[in-house]
Amino acid sequence: MINKRIKIETEDLGEETVAEVVATITDPRKMIGPEVLFSENAARDEAAKLEERKGNIEFHVIGNSLTQKVSKQTMLWLIGLQNVFSHQLPRMPKDYITRLVFDPKHCTLALIKENRPIGGICFRMFAAQGFTEIVFCAVTSNEQVKGYGTHMMNHLKDYHVKNNVLHFLTFADEFAIGYFKKQGFSKDIQLSRSVYQGYIKDYEGATLMGCELNPNIVYTEFTAVIRRQKEIIKKLIERKQSEIRKVHPGLTCFRDGVREIPIESIPGIREAGWKGPATPSRSSRSPTHEQQQDPECLHSMLKTLLCNVGQESCCCLAVSSSCRPK
Tell me which residues touch ligand ACO (CB under 6 A).
Answer: 44, 88-89, 134, 136-139, 144-150, 170-173, 175-176, 178-179, 182
Closer CB to ligand ACO, 139 or 301, in the complex? 139
Closer CB to ligand ACO, 172 or 189, in the complex? 172
CB 2 to ligand ACO: min, Å: 24
Closer CB to ligand ACO, 181 or 324, in the complex? 181
The one-letter code for the residue type at 135 is V
- How far from 32 is each of 27, 66, 159, 231, CA to CA, in Å? 10, 59, 38, 13
CB 167 to ligand ACO: min, Å: 15
Whole-angstrom distance, CA of residue 96 vs CA of residue 208 = 20
3-state secondary structure of 8: helix
Interacting residues of 136 by C-beta distance below 8 A, sequence separation 6+ = 85, 89, 92, 97, 100, 101, 120, 121, 122
CB 209 to ligand ACO: min, Å: 9
- How far from 102 is each of 67, 73, 124, 155, 297, CA to CA, in Å? 13, 14, 12, 21, 63
DSSP states of 175-197: GGHHHHHHTT-BSS--S-HHHHT
Active site residue 133: yes
Closer CB to ligand ACO, 7 or 113, in the complex? 113
Which residues face 212 on adjacent strands?
167
CB 202 to ligand ACO: min, Å: 12
Whole-angstrom distance, CA of residue 79 vs CA of residue 108 = 11
Nearest residue relative to ligand ACO (C-beta): 149
CB 228 to ligand ACO: min, Å: 20
Closer CB to ligand ACO, 142 or 286, in the complex? 142
Closer CB to ligand ACO, 90 or 257, in the complex? 90
Interacting residues of 216 by C-beta distance below 8 A, sequence separation 6+ = none
DSSP states of 59-110: EEEE---SSS---HHHHHHHHHHHHHHHHH-TTS-HHHHHHHHT-TTEEEEE
What is the CB-side half-sphere exposure of residue 76 using CA atoms within 13 A? 6
How deeply is 212 buried, as exposed, middle or buried, from its count of CB atoms within 10 A (0-12, 13-18, 19+)? middle
Whole-angstrom distance, CA of residue 297 vs CA of residue 292 = 7
CB 40 to ligand ACO: min, Å: 12
Catalytic-role residue among 58, 133, 143, 290? 133
Residues annotated catalytic, as ranges: 133
